[in-house]
Amino acid sequence: MTTPTTRRPRVVILDYGSGNLRSAQRALERVGADVSVTAELAVALNCDGLAVPGVGAFASCMRGLHAIDGPRIIDRRLAGARPVLGICVGMQVLFDRGVEGTQETDGCRQWPGVVDRLTAPVVPHMGWNTVAAPPGSRLFDGVASERFYFVHSFAARSFPVHDAAPFLPPMVTWAEHGEPFVAAVENGALSATQFHPEKSGDAGAVLLENWLSQL
Amino acid sequence: MTVAVRVIPCLDVTGGRVVKGVNFVDLRDAGDPVEMARIYDAEGADELTFLDITASSDVRETTYEVVRRTAETVFIPLTVGGGIRSVRDVDRLLRAGADKVGVNTAAVLRPELIDEISAEFGSQVLVLSVDARRVPGQGIPSGFEVTTHGGRTGTGRDASAWICEAVGRGVGEILLNSMDADGTRAGYDLDMIAATRAVCSVPLVASGGAGQLADFEPAVAAGADAVLAASVFHFGQLRIAEVKVALGAAGHPVRRLRT
């Protein structure tokens, strides 16, 4: 009798600047991924799943992404229906553009809408918050009622959906801090979370496992 | 849907070891910060803070190693403070696996450090640690003065004014430590928390004075977004979970562990 070997999904964390990438790497390894942290084009294009992290300013993240041809990597993966997961500012840059003060920066334009400053008495939004996931969400399967760790001052506060589009509309999960904002999106091969699943304890681990199960 | 009040244990570390004695029956090694972090994570801590009290820089390598091992072991946010003087120090800590860094004396001495760090990494990584004490009748408008060197040295600066300036320069969170209440276990300095909340638009972490279960709720009612404590947790006098139950019973949102 032979034991079937389960193949570990190969995940790349796109390395385009400084910040804490170690936590994302370890969190994905913990739930069974074979993780490398790199910006190497061929590896990033061909892996089973690409995670796009991001901290700091929208503009500097876009600069970092452009420097490694990140927007094209994302485009080409999606053209081949290969999964991409954006995390925190890595989600924000998937929208049309970001507005920080008087500075407007073009994003990767995968989704319509603008990322700008949250209106709330206390900003940044820092800590563990609840989310409202739509029925049928695969990412939040089993953890829809859990809290996740957020740390951000900017967010997508609307998600314009074009009813006429010949595709399934994206599945949008909302959260609230002073006002509603987009906490996660599931859109075919492209998924993203505004919160940090790699910092969200066991609930975050389940979410990452849910993502890996789709690879 | 409201963000939960965070309960944060703080560990003083030097040379890779926890400094203050700990008294946890289920610890394999009570002096190992990583082991402590693991226990607190399992107990439901929402975040961890390491305060590096190492005086000289040559033994700081051990701190990076502790941060590295902790980030590989627990999956909750980790803040590291103590002795941070430059953008380079911050970069090294973030790369080792810290999520936030705390600055204190170095920012008092050279406030531009705040601008430099937030420009490079964003406000969300930067915590300003403020050691403040009551100075009634000394011409400081808020009645609270910023101190350095563990409360031994007064600066003559108004704590509220300093916090406003720091937020303007790009700090993303305030860790407010009452030097009067610190170590007394007589409760947080509620007046200091309320005075700070009135001028502070970023998250506020209350620190100093926690001694019993009843001490936490008033700090939150006074305006704290998070409560930090050290010895009451380390000596097992209070458990993280009981603090959360008490806060929850008082109507504050808290994060419960998955069952």
Residue B63 has pLDDT above 50, yes or no: yes
Q: Residue B25: is its pLDDT beyond 50?
A: no
**Whole-number pLDDT of residue A3:** 53
Token match 């994206």: residue? A170
Contacts of A21 in chain B (CB under 8 A): 95
Question: What pLDDT, on a 0 to 100 scale, did the predictor assign at position B1?
Answer: 58
**Predicted confidence (pLDDT) at residue B6 exceeds the cutoff of 70:** yes
Across the interface, whether the CB atoms of B124 and A126 are under 8 A apart is answered yes
Where residue A18 falls among pLDDT bands split at 50, 70, 90? low
In chain A the domains, ranked by start, together with CATH numbers, are: 10-212 (3.40.50.880)
B chain contacts of residue A27, beta-carbon cutoff 8 Å: 75
Residue pair B205/B219 in contact (Cβ under 8 Å)? The answer is no
ipTM: 0.94
**B255 in Cβ contact with B244 (< 8 Å):** yes
Q: Is B32 a known active-site residue?
A: no
- pLDDT value at A179 more than 50: yes
pLDDT at A4: 54
- pLDDT, position B56: 60
Cα–Cα distances in Å, from B215 out to A78, B184, B240, B258? Answer: 52, 12, 13, 26
Q: Between residues B17 and B220, which one has the greater pLDDT?
A: B220
Q: Is residue A163 scored above 90 in pLDDT?
A: no
pLDDT in tens, B117-126: 999 899 999 9
In chain A, the percentage of residues whose pLDDT exceeds 90 is 87
The single-letter code of the amino acid at B129 is S
Q: What is the DSSP letter of B48?
A: E
Predicted pLDDT at A161: 76
Report strand pairing: B126-134 vs B144-148.
antiparallel
Region B143-150: mean pLDDT is 91
Q: Is A149 an 8 Å CB contact of chain B?
A: yes
Which among B6, B72, B202 is the nearest to A26, CB-wise? B72
